[in-house]
Every structure is written in C-alpha cells, then in structure tokens.
A and B are shown apart, each in its own frame.
Chain A
Amino acid sequence: SAVISQKPSRDICQRGTSLTIQCQVDSQVTMMFWYRQQPGQSLTLIATANQGSEATYESGFVIDKFPISRPNLTFSTLTVSNMSPEDSSIYLCSVPGPTYEQYFGPGTRLTVT
C-alpha cells in the first residue's frame, strides 16, 4: 500500500488568511485526490490533481478558493484561501493503488477562528 504523509497535521488559522496543505506519497502516482470532511459529516471530493495539467474541481468547489498544485508525481498541495469558519474541516489527500484500491493520508485538521 502507498504511504502518504500530510503537513501540517493540524492548524488553527485566523479568518481571511490562507493555508497550504502538503501531501507527499512514497511512490509515483498519476492521480491524487483532495477531500474535505466537515465536522460530523462524511467525505466530499474537492478535486482531482493530475501531474502536468490543471486540477479538475467538483461541483461547489472553485480554483480561486482551493488552488491546487501538482509539481511532480509524488507531491501535491491544496491551499484553502480567504478562510472563514465554514472552512473548518479535515482535509485529506488520497491516491489510487495498483488494483483500484484507494489510500488516504492522515488528514489535516483545520480550525478557522
């Protein structure tokens, strides 16, 4: 299985600021996914990040709010911009395995005050 790390593991941020979350994988993968889990809720897909192309965003998520970078096949970043308390969530990255399984990082717990 893939080993995925995320930084930071948690953060408390002020309203109106931005936070960049990093996702590092121990193997090269074509696709990486970013999910959000709001308090008490299940996971929702934010976007798909492919190396060498623009990220593809799901309905309800826009690039200006959640810009994504994918500079190589083992790394991606998600920025949460101009944060509000509604952005308080756990943000998780995931990657597919070789036989259609999917593995998730440990998550970044974000609290916006």
Chain B
Amino acid sequence: SQELEQSPQSLIVQEGKNLTINCTSSKTLYGLYWYKQKYGEGLIFLMMLQKGGEEKSHEKITAKLDEKKQQSSLHITASQPSHAGIYLCGADDDQGAQKLVFGQGTRLTINP
C-alpha cells in the first residue's frame, strides 16, 4: 500500500516568516490532499492536487505537486498565529476509490 512521509515532523517559526512542509510518496500520486488539524479536532480541507506540476493557492498557502507526482510541498508565506496546527497530507490509496492514507503530520508552531 502507499506510504506518505512528511518532513519536518515539527516546525517552529517566527511570525511573519515563510515555511515549507514536504510530503513524499512511495508510489505515484493520483490525488494529493492537504489538511490542517487543530489539536483534537477534525480536519480542515485546504486543497487537492491531481496533475503533475499543478499548483494551487488559498490565501497565503500554496501547494504544489511535482511533475513526477511523487512529492508535494505546502508553502506558507508570512506566517501568522492562525496558521498554527498540524498539517497532514493524504493520498488516494486506490486510484479513484477516495480511500485516503495519510502522512504522520507536521506540527507547526508560530512564535509571536
């Protein structure tokens, strides 16, 4: 089955700084999902990437899927305290079945 590895596992940045989180897959990605989770809560859908080279943005968050469709990055520009949380990447483990496998998550802390 597909495995996703996220890096870094945790990240502490100063407010206003930019940051990048990576998600690497053991197999070709047919759908890559990015979510944000506040501690102990549900997942907030950020965006989904399907095509190699695709890039999407939402407010100050940009996600890219590389041409080979085995790696994605999530970039936050000018980080704010509201960006703090756990970021999870997920992938469709059975092409089109929408059964997701997830990375282990990246815990983001924003220092004022």
**A43 adjacent to B102 (CB under 8 Å):** yes
A92 within 8 A of B: yes
User: Hey, what's the 0/1 contact readout for B93-112 against A, CB within 8 Å counting as 1?
Assistant: 10001111111110000000
User: Which residues from chain A sit less than 8 Å from chain B, CB to CB?
Assistant: 1, 31, 33, 35, 41-45, 48, 58, 90, 92, 94, 96, 100-107, 109
Which residues in window 39-61 of B have CB below 8 A to A?
40-43, 45, 48, 50
B45–A104 touching, CB < 8 Å: yes
Would you call B31 and A104 a contact (CB within 8 A)? no
CA distance A42 to B93 in the complex (A): 15
Interface residues of B (CB under 8 A from A): 31, 33, 35, 40-43, 45, 48, 50, 88, 90, 93, 97-105
**8 A-B interface contacts by CB (under 8 A):** A33-B98, A33-B100, A42-B104, A92-B42, A94-B100, A100-B48, A101-B45, A106-B42
Taking CB atoms, residues of chain B closer than 8 Å to A90 are 40
Taking A43-B90, A101-B48, A107-B40 as given, write out 10 further A-B residue pairs in contact, using a Cβ cutoff of 8 Å, ordered by the A residue number.
A43-B102, A45-B99, A58-B99, A100-B50, A100-B98, A102-B33, A105-B42, A106-B42, A107-B41, A109-B40
Top-7 shortest CB links A-B? A106-B42, A104-B43, A42-B102, A107-B42, A43-B102, A96-B98, A104-B42
In the complex, are the beta carbons of A45 and B101 less than 8 A apart?
A: yes
Beta-carbon nearest neighbor of A4 in chain B: B42
Query: Bound complex: CA of A100 vs CA of B31, how far in Å?
Result: 8
> A residues within 8 A CB of B33?
101-102
Q: How far is the CA of A50 from the CA of B40 in the complex (A)?
A: 27
Once bound together, how far apart are the Cα atoms of A107 and B42, in whole Å?
Answer: 5
